[in-house]
Structures are given as structure tokens and as C-alpha cells.
Amino acid sequence: MIKSLALTTVWSTDQERDKKFFVETLGFVERMDMAMGDSRWVTVSPPDQPDVQFALMRPDGPGLDPESGQALLALVSKGALGAGAFRTDDCHATYAELKAKGVEFIQEPQERPYGTEAIFRDPTGNWYSLTQQQENPDELDMSKPWDGCATDDAG
């Protein structure tokens, strides 16, 4: 039986730069950074969630043939891939804090049926939802729009 998610891949074109972004800008904790033959294994996670790690993986690393690696690199660099959703208690405050640190937002905080959401990118181009859940997350507020989710630069 599956019990939980332990590790997820975040594609990285520069592991050192992206580790710095997650640790210094987002406040994550470095969990592992070691050489693995010709590759490098780098994981980070939110400080209060050590059981879920983000593996910063190069698209030209092991497990991918060159053609697939090039296709993946093109998609990531284009900003076409979402890498996850982060929860926050105050989307507007976290948005302001991260924007002041230079984080690229492609959507300012907007009201959605599930809560308040902003969308940002990491330096490689992966995008993430920053979401403050509504008070009762089991009920959607259908008076709020689903559409209008930005996929281009808004901020």
C-alpha cells in the first residue's frame, strides 16, 4: 500500500543556481548534495516537511535518451511545465515577500473557487502555484472564476 509521496523531480538546467533559489529565496532546506558518477544528486524540501524532497534533476542526466532530454529541456526552458502547488496561510503576503526577493510571478494573487492563488516560476522555468486555501477547502466557491489563469508574464 502506498503511504505517501517521498520524492518528486524538478527539472533543473543549473542545479547550483536552482538549489540557491530554493534554499536562499524560498527558505527550503538542502537535504542532499552528492556526486553520483557523472551526475549530481541534489534534494531540497520545505523546512517543516523533510519527508517530501524535491530532486533537482538535469534533463540531460541518466535515464533519458538524448532526444527526450532535448525535448524536455525545450519544454522546461519555455516555461511549459508545472512542478507543483505550495500552500501558504497568506497568499498576498507571501507573494509580496517573494516578489521583493526577485521571484518571477506570472500571475498575481487571484481569487479562485479553491482559494487565493498566485503563480511563479523558478529560474529554470518550472511554474508553481502558491495557494491559500479557502476557509472550508471541502467546498468550492463557484462564484469565483476558474478562467483567467495566467500563462504569460503578469508581474
pTM assigned to the model: 0.86
What is the pLDDT averaged over residues 104-116?
A: 94
**What pLDDT is stored for residue 147 in this prediction?**
67
Report whether pLDDT(97) > 50.
yes
d(CA 35, CA 104): 30
* Mean pLDDT of the residues in the chain: 90
